[in-house]
């Protein structure tokens, strides 16, 4: 599962470019405690890593899929890798490699802008490679090298985290996600942990994938790039990494932009509920839009749209719908496709069209939405790395008991009635992390006190369905930074949202550390 799909159009670029756009990715974004402070001496034994020099070269040989190979062949791009300890508790032990891809500054470089697209499970190398024209039109790329990285386990970084094959994801022979994962027994949880341990080359590779280690990797990247202080752009889950870095290394921060910020004041379960509530709100908006047409597939009464959706999808619970490709579309696929489409208002007509075709017995459009969400390429390779997503969250978040997991599924059904089907909410559920081979390395809340931090910038869309606006407000407050409020209905805004207003504000901050006024507001 390590390929990336070129965004098919500007209207879909946000949903596909940000790995965080997938329902499982965003709704599993938990809240956990920051990495240990550098004052603890935790980084005292990293001298061998701090002195490394990067060997930049062509990117063709670093691509892990045909789609990436095409993107990475761009002669404007350069690639390298940074060595990091696999286990920071044993820095002299096995090493891992974090892949980097950069678009060199067109002028004299003043430093690097490190970019993470979200997830967990998103490839920063693919994001930068697929958005080169946008960066080349940006003044930021005149003065900064734009550097995307693949967090450990993802994309071109090694060792990889692998639990299931792409073919198994195609067939649905993997833990499926509705309100929660459909893990309904301790045996299934054990099987998942064993599959991931074996596929990832052992316990050590699997249990060192958590966000706390990624944050420490980021500091080694900063040093290897030759930057005294970090300049960083993080989308969605990437906002967690940026905030954690700020809390861990406040004296090493130059500028941090967090777009689509995760709420730092919620538990993992509370955040998941808030995300589903946001998705439901956007579905309600879509239903109202659809109801303006007398032949709306969801009916002309938006209040009844949840029931209409259930009528359309209920037959798929027992009998998935065939497609021309030979792949079947399950009820889980339908909800993934709908939710991914809801992440950008520009894509809502595609959802209506796909539901209309689905009710008529044609599932190909819905499968296409589902594949866009997962950034699945035409040759069957997956760009969104759900195996690493699970591994990171199992090492990040406190684990719920079966009773707590079951109660969470019921609560989600109440908060987001579009999901309130028995197949999603009526079973007895176990945490997908129940049998994980090591305990979480973080707790709740995930962001502690932050002191001595330079001004940061949070970009938050009022109608963001995945990381609701309230979370962005809370993040700006927690960091004591600036907030740019953006009126719109999509997930994320900067560079990928088509708003000159947003781009100008963020560019001024990244380039000259110019913060917007307290009431700064843009629209999409």
pLDDT reported for residue 403 = 98
For residue 363, being part of any structural domain is answered with no
- Residues 100/81, Cβ–Cβ less than 8 Å: yes
Kindly report, residue by residue over 151-204, the tens digit of the pLDDT. Answer: 999 999 999 999 999 999 999 999 999 999 999 999 999 999 999 999 999 999
- Residues 453/254, Cβ–Cβ less than 8 Å: no
Q: What is the mean pLDDT of residues 208-237?
A: 97
Q: What is the mean pLDDT of residues 351-355?
A: 98
Cβ burial of 50 (10 Å; 0-12, 13-18, 19+) is exposed
Kindly report, residue by residue over 79-88, the tens digit of the pLDDT. Answer: 999 999 999 9
- Collapsing DSSP to helix, strand or coil, 367 comes out as helix
- Residues 366/322, Cβ–Cβ less than 8 Å: no
Q: Assign 25 a pLDDT band (cuts: 50, 70, 90).
A: very low
We report the CATH number of the domain holding residue 454 as: 3.40.50.1820
396's CB contacts (< 8 A; 6+ apart) are: 30, 32, 210, 211, 212, 440, 441, 442, 446
- Collapsing DSSP to helix, strand or coil, 99 comes out as strand
pLDDT reported for residue 448 = 81
CA pair distance 165, 170, nearest whole angstrom: 9
For residue 241, being part of any structural domain is answered with yes
For residue 20, being part of any structural domain is answered with yes
Q: List, in sequence order, every residue forming a beta bridge with 331; answer none if it has no partner.
A: none
- Residues 187/175, Cβ–Cβ less than 8 Å: no
CA pair distance 240, 253, nearest whole angstrom: 15
Q: Of the ranges 19-28, 374-383, 452-461, 511-520, which one carries the lowest mean pLDDT score?
A: 19-28
Residue 302 has pLDDT above 50, yes or no: yes
Q: Assign 4 a pLDDT band (cuts: 50, 70, 90).
A: very low
For residue 462, being part of any structural domain is answered with yes
State the residue range of the domain holding 88. 10-31+57-162+196-267+449-523
Q: Of the ranges 27-36, 423-432, 468-477, which one carries the lowest mean pLDDT score?
A: 27-36
What does the longest C-alpha to C-alpha distance in the chain come to? 68
For residue 220, being part of any structural domain is answered with yes
Task: Output phi, psi for 331, to 5 deg.
Answer: -65, -30
For residue 50, being part of any structural domain is answered with no
Q: What is the mean pLDDT of residues 314-337?
A: 97
Residue 9 has pLDDT above 80, yes or no: no
Q: List, in sequence order, every residue forming a beta bridge with 484; answer none if it has no partner.
A: 459
The tokens for 484 are 């740019």
pLDDT reported for residue 43 = 55
93's CB contacts (< 8 A; 6+ apart) are: 85, 86, 87
Q: How far is CA 309 from CA 286, 415, 518, in A?
A: 12, 16, 41
CA pair distance 306, 293, nearest whole angstrom: 17
Q: List, in sequence order, every residue forming a beta bridge with 82; answer none if it has no partner.
A: 98
Residue 405 has pLDDT above 70, yes or no: yes
Residue 33 has pLDDT above 50, yes or no: no
The tokens for 404 are 């707590």
- Residues 8/14, Cβ–Cβ less than 8 Å: no
Residue 218's CB is within 10 A of a number of other CB atoms, namely: 27
3-state SS record for 120-146: CCCCHHHHHHHCHHHHHCCCHHHHEEE
The tokens for 4 are 């990336």
pLDDT reported for residue 443 = 84
Hey, which residues are catalytic here?
236, 464, 491
List, in sequence order, every beta strand (DSSP E) within 366-478.
Answer: 457-461
Average model confidence (pLDDT) across the chain:
91
Residue 38 has pLDDT above 60, yes or no: no
For residue 468, being part of any structural domain is answered with yes
Task: Output phi, psi for 400, to 5 deg.
Answer: -80, 145
Place of tokens 């970084």: 157
pLDDT reported for residue 445 = 87
CA pair distance 298, 464, nearest whole angstrom: 22
User: What's the structural domain count of the chain?
Assistant: 1
Closest CA to 82 of 116, 48, 58, 108: 48
Q: What is the mean pLDDT of residues 66-73?
A: 93
pTM: predicted TM-score of the whole model, two decimal places: 0.92
Write down how long the chain is: 524
- Residues 524/498, Cβ–Cβ less than 8 Å: yes
The tokens for 450 are 């932050």
CA pair distance 353, 262, nearest whole angstrom: 31
Residue 44 has pLDDT above 60, yes or no: no
List, in sequence order, every beta strand (DSSP E) within 421-478.
Answer: 457-461
Q: What is the mean pLDDT of residues 432-448?
A: 93
pLDDT reported for residue 60 = 87
- Residues 85/49, Cβ–Cβ less than 8 Å: yes
């Amino acid at each position: 599962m390590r390929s990336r799909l070129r965004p098919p159009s500007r209207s879909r670029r946000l949903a596909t470019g940000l790995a965080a756009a997938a329902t499982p990715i965003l709704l599993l974004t938990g809240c956990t405690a920051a990495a240990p402070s550098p004052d603890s001496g935790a980084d005292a034994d990293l001298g061998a890593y701090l002195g490394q020099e990067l060997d930049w070269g062509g990117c063709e040989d670093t691509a892990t899929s045909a789609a990436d190979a095409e993107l990475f062949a761009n002669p404007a791009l350069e690639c390298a890798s940074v060595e990091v300890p696999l286990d920071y508790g044993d820095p002299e032990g096995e090493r891992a490699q974090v892949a980097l891809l950069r678009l060199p500054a067109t002028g004299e470089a003043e430093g690097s802008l490190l970019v993470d697209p979200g997830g967990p499970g998103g490839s920063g190398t693919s994001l930068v490679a697929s958005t080169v024209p946008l960066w080349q039109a940006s003044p930021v790329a005149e003065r900064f090298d734009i550097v995307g990285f693949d967090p450990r386990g993802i994309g071109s970084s090694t060792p990889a985290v692998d639990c299931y094959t792409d073919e198994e994801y195609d067939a649905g022979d993997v833990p499926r996600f509705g309100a929660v994962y459909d893990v309904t027994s301790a045996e299934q949880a054990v099987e998942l942990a064993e599959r991931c341990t074996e596929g990832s080359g052992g316990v050590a590779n699997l249990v060192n994938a958590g966000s706390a280690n990624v944050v420490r990797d980021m500091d080694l990247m900063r040093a290897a790039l030759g930057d005294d202080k970090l300049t960083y752009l993080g989308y969605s889950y990437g906002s967690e990494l940026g905030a954690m870095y700020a809390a861990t290394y406040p004296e090493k921060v130059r500028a941090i932009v967090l777009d689509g910020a995760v709420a730092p004041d919620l538990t993992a379960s509370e955040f998941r509920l808030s995300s589903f509530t946001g998705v439901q709100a956007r579905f309600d908006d879509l239903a109202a839009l659809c109801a303006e047409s007398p032949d709306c597939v969801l009916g002309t009464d938006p209040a009844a749209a949840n029931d209409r959706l259930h009528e359309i999808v209920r037959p798929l619970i027992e009998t998935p719908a065939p497609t021309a490709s030979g792949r079947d579309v399950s009820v889980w696929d339908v909800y993934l496709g709908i939710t991914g489409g809801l992440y950008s208002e520009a894509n809502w007509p595609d959802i209506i069209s796909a539901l209309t075709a689905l009710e008529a017995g044609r599932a190909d459009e819905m499968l296409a939405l589902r594949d866009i969400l997962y950034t699945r390429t035409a040759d069957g390779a997956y760009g969104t790395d759900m195996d690493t997503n699970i591994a990171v969250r199992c090492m990040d978040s406190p684990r719920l008991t079966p009773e707590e997991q079951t109660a969470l599924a019921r609560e989600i059904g109440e908060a987001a009635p579009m999901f309130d089907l028995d197949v999603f909410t009526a079973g007895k559920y176990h945490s997908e992390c129940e049998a994980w081979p090591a305990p979480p390395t973080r707790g709740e809340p995930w962001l502690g006190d932050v002191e001595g931090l330079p001004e940061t910038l949070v970009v938050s869309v009022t109608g963001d369905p995945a990381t609701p606006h309230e979370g962005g407000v809370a993040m700006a407050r927690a960091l004591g930074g600036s907030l740019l409020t953006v009126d719109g209905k999509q997930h994320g805004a900067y560079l990928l949202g088509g708003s000159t207003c947003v781009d100008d504000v963020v560019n001024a901050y990244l380039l000259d550390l110019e913060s917007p006024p307290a009431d700064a507001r843009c629209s999409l």
